[in-house]
Structure 1
Amino acid sequence: MNYKKFRKIKDDDAEKKQFNKKIAEKASRKVLTKKQKAKLSQKNANQNNNAELQQANEAVSQANFLRSPICCILGHVDTGKTKLLDKMRGTNIQQGECGGITQQIGATYFPAETLKDQCSKVDSKFEVKIPGLIIIDTPGHESFTNLRRRGSSLCDIAILVVDITKGIEQQTIEALELLINKKCPFIVALNKIDRCFGWKSQEFEPFVRAIKNQKKNTVDDFRSKAQHCMIELCKKAMLTFTLFTENTNSKKQINLVPTSAVTGQGIPDLLYLMVKLTQGYMSNRITLEMETVTATILDVKNTVGLGSTIDVLLIGGVLRKGDTFVAAGLKGPIVSNVKALLTPPPLRESRVNGEYIHHDEVRAAMGVKIAGLNLQDAIAGSSLYVSDNPEKIEQYKKILQSDVDSIVQSIEKSSHGVYVVASSLGSLEALLDFLKNSSIPVNNVSIGTVHKLDVVKASTMIERGYKEYAVILAFDVKIDPEALQEAANLGVTIFKEDIIYHLFDKYTMHIENYRAQLKEENRKHFVTPVIMKMLPGLVFNYKNPMIFGVEVQEGELIPGTPIYCPSKKLPLGTLDSIEHERKTVLSATRGMQVAVKFSESSLEIKKDIQDDEVLVSYLTRQSIEVGKTYFTDEVKKHLKLFLKLKSILNIT
């Protein structure tokens, strides 16, 4: 404002009033503009907040529609599967209360907060969208037993544990085949990196940071071992494997994550990759379905105070106390009601035996124990269906029965073979496949505990003349005491193991010992083939005992062999001993000239036989059959000679 002008007109009332009016109007316009700006600013802020809120709601909504992915751990014995899972549990074990890692029925649950904590060590900006991660505690084939009719797998992703110091082993190959056949995505954990020469350890350190802290010779040792494993994996699986730090395409290349179950190094990377792959590429598969209950029976147990219970992995839907459900059973489908829904206490309290938390309902995904009636014959590995509709229940019964029938019908039963008992449909399938590939015949199968009736059925092999097959192969099951007593009474052998290969090794040793015993028992009936010619003029004693010189022309001459003279059609008796260069020997082969002795022969040289006769082993039909049954290697070795002697001796 012009102050001088104001002073000039200040005494003029009319002009003063007009001037003041203009000032007021101008001030009024300025105030109005500020209000408008404030209002507009507030409006913009609200719009921004609404946009952020909408984005947050969308993120929450997306997370709410995703369930926790299910992971299982596979690998050869002693690669560190259990230790690795134990170490993973230890990432946040102090938060065993609500919100922390919890031990579920048959599984371990890693909540989103734990995953965020570990993933942030690898990528601080990484966003965890899944509500958590479930890792099944029982590694192996039981993890691949859900909905066989549709060929799908219970697991969304798997960890294949490989001992970096040993490389690929037998069970690694089987696990690879299983994962490929089931089309299950997997990550390879190259475990035991702490055993690399001079390795420096720090608890739960990401691999990238860990490798930077190593000396050059340690890095070289690690890379050499990792490269060896990588090449072996590529050869066996015909897939491309690469270190996760060098992988530019996880859809085409399998990630190798170096880990240590001792120090926890690499575990953040392992969890990070599992979260990244499942929420990034498998959102359709892990979308939560709440309307329909989807569940798989992991185990059947007898729980103190509750009776028979089933451990179930709930993948979709809500399971409530009082629900009617249908499960596959040994004697047909089981229809029962949920009497109790149980979970163990938080991990930090899980050492307390017999304690369970009761629930009115549980939501997917979760491991839970169900108490109900008539569950003792439920089959682990089968699906569980929930409905209160009688028509639906009948439909589910047919589906479950067809599942069981399809497996039973697919078993190639032999008239003679072992009796197989497994803990679940999945483990039964795995064991049967292994036995088939190992050329071990199977006569009958069962699922669950080994009972007295199983022993009686297995004993029929003895009655049929196949004593070597009077064996029960019990895979990951319990044995009833009455069954053990009955087995001792009937002469049935029971082998119980939790690992297929250990079961196979025991049975193989049993067969080898049994055949070795039979071989010794029948050795007196087996005749080793030989053709020899008496050496003229080398008769040391003409009779009782006959001692003379011979040259072995074909086969092998051993003491105890019955000898025959074809030209005279006379048996000489059983060979007592052999001397070579005045020393007793246990055998003589082609070209050797030796002295032989027959103590109990009734023949006399020059009277009954000449001193230049051709002599042969005295084979019979019985000795040939014994050879074919128990001495196959010897028969194959001298097959042409056996055929020649059969002709000489007129054996048909």
Structure 2
Amino acid sequence: MSDTDTHETETRSLRTPIVAVLGHVDHGKTSLLDKIRGSTVIEGEAGAITQHIGATAVPLDVVSKVAGKLVNPDDFDLPGLLFIDTPGHHSFTTLRSRGGALADIAILVVDVNDGFQPQTVEAINILKQSQTPFIVAANKIDTTPGWNPEMDAPVQQTYEAQSDRARSTLDSSLYELIGELSDAGFSADLYWRVQNFQNNIGVVPVSAETGEGVPDVLTVLMGLAQRYMREDMEIDVAGPGAGTVLEVKEEKGFGTTLDVVLYDGTVRADETIVVGGMNEPIVTDVRALLKPRPLAEIRTEDRFEKVDSIAAAAGVKIAAPNLDEAMAGAPVRVVRDREIEDVIEEVQAELAEVEVSTQEEGIVVKADTLGSLEAIVSTLEEEEIPVMRAEVGDVAPRDIRFATTADEPKHRTILAFNVDVLADAADEAEQRDIRLFDSDVIYQLIEEYEEYVDEMERAQQQTVLDNITRPARFRILEDHVFRQNDPAVVGVEIMSGTVRNNSFVAKFEANEPKRVGTLKGIQEQGDDVDEARAGSRVSVAIDGPTVGR
């Protein structure tokens, strides 16, 4: 065994699994996260739970205290759970690592009364695409009519204590939800009935309000991670750090900083790092590594404390020069004892993995992060909507100018996801007749665009129909020749079709049409009109023939 091998073996350790929380708006993602944080802060001694940048670490001993009899700490060697603080699939798509989702496991929060909503479906699709294992938190069980809450109790305990009526009402809501999961292609059941979590989704009834079921959520997450992901959690803790940018932020006293989730190795102050940038990878030196101050010290003016180094898995703020072009969702790599060029190549290769294929003709897409850009473009592909340009960043005048180069009017459009439209860009869009759609919900953005295209196509069809001249038949009424020629003015009855001004008039002789003139005017009850339909009696002026000979 070489020295390197020995070194690697000695520094390998198990990192904390990274957990993301997804779900439809108002279904209780943030409340559930707050409850997990709150109950763990109360249950554990002060400081047992550590606040990271953009994440909360819940150590195993705290999980075990909250879960009570449900968890025996001796059954686990993973250090705990690291929850990403910004809930929602928007942040989930941001967090990519080496071509997959950075989160090791996810909680899909569904309101047990509402069931699947559009963003639930969107979240499920994102979980499918990234092949991320997940559990379902069936939230708001405390709103079941007749429910008698037991604060912070495991769900089976509180369920058994309810009346038959409350249990029956909850059961029907839960089985409806399990049916919806089945329709989405997932075999699911209440978690205590699931034998094999690799083939089935565990549903955990929970209340973010009362804390009922929260012990179960932590238990199931811990159990799944320990049983199915332990090998993936093995990292070389002393190796060069690898992470993903969660957010690029201006911070007073530090300039542009990166909020990073570190999932491998260690990063130290003063080390050289390579970060994915808008145009090319950025090579820079870490000026400061920052962590939030413990809650007890939050009153101090400095919100952050400096640390010398930090190991995965962790959330950390990195202050360094030249970060203005850094992108959310981009990789961060510590160079350490490697060639800078090799690390730059590694970052470029990972950026190239973001599958955003563009075409010669199509719409322009702008998004806040690489991950969301990838998610939108992949959804547009499914809807067969071509994309000509897809970039991270706010909508700027150059995007408007680019959109004007599209050949088809319906493609002279920009979809903006979770980004700002700069004022001068908005003005230019109006001048150049470029349509802007902006939203922070992918399905809404695409739905609005599709409605716009449908409307545009309907209007185009109507224009075409309006301009098509269909043959119309009319007969001259007896004793209704008001003028014989220059032009002839006669009373007619329209037999079929629609007679329009400036149409050619033909007379049928032996079934052969013979052109005799042009319709130059139509009057109905003394008023000039542009057209007359079948069944109408009108007077018409015909240029060309002499009537009555």
Under a length normalisation based on structure 2, what TM-score does the superposition of the two structures give? 0.84
- Counterpart contact for 1:546–1:605, Cα < 8 Å: no
3-state DSSP class of the match of 2:238?
Answer: coil
- Cα 1:547–1:167 shift into 2, 3 Å: farther
SS at match of 1:261: coil
In the alignment, which residue of structure 2 is the partner of 1:497?
Answer: 439
Counterpart Cα distance in 2 of 1:406 and 1:251: 27
Does residue 306 of the first structure (1) align with residue 248 of the second (2)? no
Report if aligned partners of 1:74, 1:158 keep a CA contact under 8 Å in 2: yes
Name the SS of the counterpart of 1:414 in structure 2: coil
Report deviation, 1:318. 1.8
Separation in structure 2 between the aligned mates of residue 220 and residue 95 of structure 1, nearest angstrom: 32
Question: Equivalent residue for 1:109?
Answer: 57
Contact 2:366–2:392 at 8 Å: present in 1 too? yes
1:267 corresponds to which letter in structure 2? Answer: V
8 Å Cα contact 2:519/2:540 also seen in 1:
no
* Cα distance in 2 between the residues matched to 1:164 and 1:364: 35
Match of 1:551 among 482, 495, 501: 495
* Aligned partner (choices 362, 369, 389) of residue 444 of structure 1: 389
Partner of 1:421: 366
Deviation, structure 1 residue 142? 4.4
Query: 2:232: which partner in 1?
Result: 285
**Equivalent in the alignment of 2:416:** 474
Match of 1:526 among 466, 483, 487: 466
Instruction: Tell which has more relative contact order, 1 or 2 (C-alpha 8 A, sep 6+).
Output: 2
After superposition, the C-alpha distances for 1:57-110 in whole angstroms (9 at most, x for unaligned) are xxxx99x93221101122233332223222322223457985343442222222
Name the count of aligned residue pairs: 526
Mean CA deviation greater in 217-226 or 267-276: 217-226
Q: Which residue of 1 aligns with 2:350?
A: 403
Which has a greater percent of strand?
Answer: 2
Distance 1:157 1:441, change over 3 A: same
1:21-36 to 2 correspondences below 5 Å: none
Give the match for residue 243 of structure 1. Answer: 190
Query: Partners in 2 of 1:323 and 1:317 — Cα distance?
Result: 13
Deviations 1:408-446 (A, max 9, x none): 7x513232x221112222111101011122232211122
How far 1:530 moved relative to its partner? 4.5
Q: Pick the aligned partner of 1:595 from 529, 536, 544.
A: 536
Q: Which amino acid in structure 2 is aligned with residue 534 of structure 1? A: F
2:400 is equivalent to residue 455 of structure 1: yes
Name the CA shift for 1:98/1:599 in 2 (closer, same or farther; >3 Å). Answer: farther
> Which one-letter code corresponds to 2:201 in the other structure?
I
Letter of the 1:551 counterpart = M
1:210 pairs with 2:163: no
Match of 2:330 among 362, 382, 388: 382
Kindly provide the CA deviation profile for residues 294-339 of structure 1, in whole angstroms up to 9, marking residues without a partner as x: 2111222222322211111011222111011111112211111101
- Secondary structure at the aligned position of 2:231 is classed as coil
Which residue identity is paired with 1:507? Y
Q: Which one has the largest radius of gyration?
A: 1
Aligned to 2:271: 323
How do 1:338-377 residues align onto structure 2 when only pairs under 5 Å count? 338-347=286-295, 355-377=303-325
Q: Secondary structure at the match of 1:326?
A: strand
Aligned residue number for residue 619 of structure 1: none
Q: Are the structure 2 counterparts of residues 501 and 558 from structure 1 closer, same or farther at C-alpha, using a change threshold of 3 Å?
A: farther
Residue 536 of structure 2: SS of its match in structure 1?
strand
Summarize the alignment of residues 80-91 of structure 1 with structure 2, pairs less than 5 Å apart. 80-91=28-39
Match of 2:89 among 140, 153, 167: 140
What is the letter of the counterpart of residue 89 of structure 2? G
CA 1:428 to 1:560, structure 2 compared with 1: closer, same or farther past 3 Å?
farther
What corresponds to 2:203 in structure 1?
A: 256
The answer on whether the counterparts of 1:93 and 1:101 sit within 8 Å (CA) in structure 2 is yes
Task: Give yes or no for contact 1:559–1:577 (8 Å, CA) kept in 2.
Answer: no
| In 1: Cα distance, 2:264 partner to 2:430 partner | 47
TM-score (structure 1 length as normaliser): 0.72
Residue identity over aligned pairs, in percent, reads 32
1:222 to 170, 175, 183: 170
